Structure formats: structure tokens, C-alpha cells
Amino acid sequence: MINLFNTHIETLSVHRVGNKSRNEAIFLSEQPYNLNDEIAPLLKEYFFKPFREKEENYFQFAHEVDLDYHDMYNLVTEMFTNPSDAHEISKKITKHLFDQSNHPHIKNGEVYVTYLTNLSIDNNTVDAVGIFKSEIKTDFLQFEEKSSNLDIVLQQGINLNKLDKGCIVFNYKKEEGYKILTIDSNRYDARYWLEHFLSVDAFQDENFVTKKYLKFCQDFAKDVVLPAEDKKEEVMFMNRSVNYFAKNDEFEETAFLNEVIDNPDLIPEFKNYKVEKAPKYSIEDVTTFPIANSAVTDARKKIKNVINLDTNIQIKMDFVNPESAEKFVEKGWDEEKQMYYYLVYFNKEQKS
């Protein structure tokens, strides 16, 4: 979990990068930008708002040989070591970004490199390096008084409600390649920011593994449990899976399977599915891991617990009390109508 509420922008350097394939230039400011009390809160909201609204999927700098050969890892480490040199290092970071800007689709734009203090991540207060880029210009109108009339002037500028690209590198977990949050609002050059400029992989902590394992379970429910059983059992399998994660601090696969799979025939199906699909979720060798509660909460919000029937009726299952569906909902076949039915038992209707 992160908290950016009390974050302070210690230094801000503003540069501009063009597209090398179109022979556009790079512009490096000689001095850092002198922030004032009027613009500082606007920039903080512009920089940080996307990260508050976005699910926290962390990344880390990665290199196939060693992080000592990773350009951005070394530049960020240099800035953390010598914050007083932040502006000169920001020029190196911007040059590195410019060197990756050689695809025709990449747009020119302003680059903001910041040294940040007083951020909170995983209950630790740390510094961070923020790198942000604005690309898309917005038309807006200005008005000037000329004699007895107002004159309309069309200008272009940056929309402070939408950051195009950005990353926050926390001075945390340095040995693993730092913990990094990144956003990219424009998908026309997806590899440019993540792969070419930052060169990152997913940060495989307990939050990552918990999310991936639950997503794997969700796909198993759809691909295997639903065809083998029915929609109710698909929903109930995910219900039991989420509840296992919610009530345990540690995941243990054998205990998990014994608790969540009612039909013993599906246990070997689960293991075979994992062998086939695990690389997609990066859980090939995962059988035990600490459970991240925040990831379970996020997953519970996304998992559907509704059975939609072709007669325009919905049955909503309760994820908090799964035993109710087990005891009081039955599925059957009506020979006369030649239709399936659900039989639901209850004592009285609840007031909404």
C-alpha cells in the first residue's frame, strides 16, 4: 500500500524530448524549475492522481545478466545517493529516454524528473524518484480585451487531468531492483515506456503471487469446473477459494485443494491445468506463499457471484456466507417443461 498525501517535491527538472526518427531535437533545461506555492499543488495532483486511482501493480528494474548493467537502475541509484545532483542526473535520464524515442509512433513531449520525499509504502517512509511525460496537447481558448470587444485566442497546452506517462521509483527493495509504480495512458507505443525506457518486470512479492493465483483459480473455474459441473459450482468454487485466502495468512496448496474442491475427481484436473497454464500466471513452482490481504480484497470485488439465466432471472450467491448456497439452493431437471430449475429454500423474505 502507498500513501502520497504528504509527499513533497524537493526538486523538479523539466526537459523536452523529440522523436529521433523524425529528426526532432532534445531540449535540456540548464537549471531546475523553481516551484512556487501556486503551481506545486497543481503538479502534485497532475503527477500523483493516476497512481491513487490505479490498482497497485508493482514492477522492478530487471536485467538478464545483472542490475549493475541496467541504465535506469544505475541512474536512479545515483540520484538516491546524491540528491543534490538531481538536476544533472535528470539530464542523463532524459537523454536515455530520448535514445529510446526512435519509433514513428512515439510522440514528443515534456519530461518532468522529480526527487520526492516523505512517501509511504508498505508502512515505510521513503524517498522516491518520479519521472513523468506529457504528450497530448489540448486546445483551449484564451480571451483578450481589445478596444470594446473580447477577442478569442486559440492556444494549446497540457490537460492537467490526464498524465500520459509516469513512474515512481521508491527507494525501497533496492536489491530486488526497487519497487516501481508506472502508468501509460497511451497504448500506441506500449513497449517504448515499459520495456525500452524503464526495462522492468513485475515485482513478484506476495501481492503479485496472491493476485496471480486467484486469477488462475478463476480461469480454472471457468474452463474446467463449469463444463464438468454447472454455473452454481463454478461460483461456489470461487467462493470457497476466496474465503480460503481471506481467512488464512499462508497459502498451502494441498490444504487449499482439500478445502475448496468438493468433487475429488477435479483435484487431478486442477493439477494438470496448473502444469499446462502455470507459466501464463508465473506460478509454476508456487505451492506455498504468504497471502496479501489487499490482493484478496481486490479479487473479491472482481469475481462475479451471479448466475444469469436465459429466462431473465438472476441468482446472486453470498460470498460471505457460502454455506447458505450449499444448503438452500438445489438444481434439478423438470421433465414436463423440459427445463432446468433452481430450487431455493427460505423462511421469509428480507426487506431491502
Q: In the predicted model, what is the mean pLDDT of residues 23-49?
A: 94
Q: What is the pLDDT of residue 324?
A: 66
Q: What is the pLDDT of residue 236?
A: 83
- Among 29-38, 114-123, 190-199, the least confident range: 190-199
- Given a cut of 70, whether residue 174 has pLDDT beyond it is yes
- Given a cut of 90, whether residue 56 has pLDDT beyond it is no
What is the average pLDDT score of the chain? 89
- Count the Cβ atoms, other than its own, within 10 Å of residue 8: 13
Give the percent of the chain with pLDDT over 70.
96
- Among 13-22, 56-65, 287-296, 303-312, the least confident range: 303-312
Q: In the predicted model, what is the mean pLDDT of residues 318-336?
A: 72
- Among 14-28, 30-44, 150-164, 321-335, the least confident range: 321-335
What pLDDT band is residue 166 in, cutting at 50, 70 and 90? very high
Q: What is the pLDDT of residue 319?
A: 55
First to last CA, the chain: 35
CA 326 – CA 104 distance, rounded (Å): 57
**Per-range mean pLDDT, top range of 18-27, 74-83, 330-339:** 74-83
What pLDDT band is residue 318 in, cutting at 50, 70 and 90? low
Q: In the predicted model, what is the mean pLDDT of residues 71-96?
A: 97
- Among 36-40, 99-103, 325-329, the least confident range: 325-329
316: β partners:
306
- Given a cut of 90, whether residue 188 has pLDDT beyond it is no
Task: Look up the pTM and report it.
Answer: 0.76
CA 171 – CA 215 distance, rounded (Å): 29
Burial degree of 23 (CB within 10 A; 0-12, 13-18, 19+): exposed
Q: In the structure grid, which three cell numbers stand for residue 274, read together?
A: 496448473
Q: What is the pLDDT of residues 211-245, one digit of tens each?
A: 999 999 999 999 999 888 888 888 888 888 988 99
What pLDDT band is residue 57 in, cutting at 50, 70 and 90? confident
The string over 219-240, giving b where at least 16 C-beta atoms fall within 10 Å of a residue's C-beta and e elsewhere, is ebbeebbbeebebbbbbbbbbb
Q: What is the pLDDT of residue 234?
A: 85
Q: What is the pLDDT of residue 68?
A: 93
Q: What is the pLDDT of residue 301?
A: 75
Q: What is the pLDDT of residue 339?
A: 84
Q: Long-range contacts made by residues 314-322, C-beta under 8 angstroms, separation at least 24?
A: 315/342, 315/344, 317/232, 317/235, 317/236, 317/239, 319/239, 319/242, 319/243, 322/236, 322/239, 322/240, 322/243
Q: In the predicted model, what is the mean pLDDT of residues 133-158?
A: 90
| Residue 150, phi then psi, degrees to nearest 5 | -95, 125
Q: In the predicted model, what is the mean pLDDT of residues 89-98?
A: 97
Q: What is the pLDDT of residue 352?
A: 63
For 140: left if phi > 0, alpha if psi spans -120 to 50, otherwise beta; the answer is beta
Quick one: which of 288, 289, 284 has its CA closest to 273?
Answer: 284
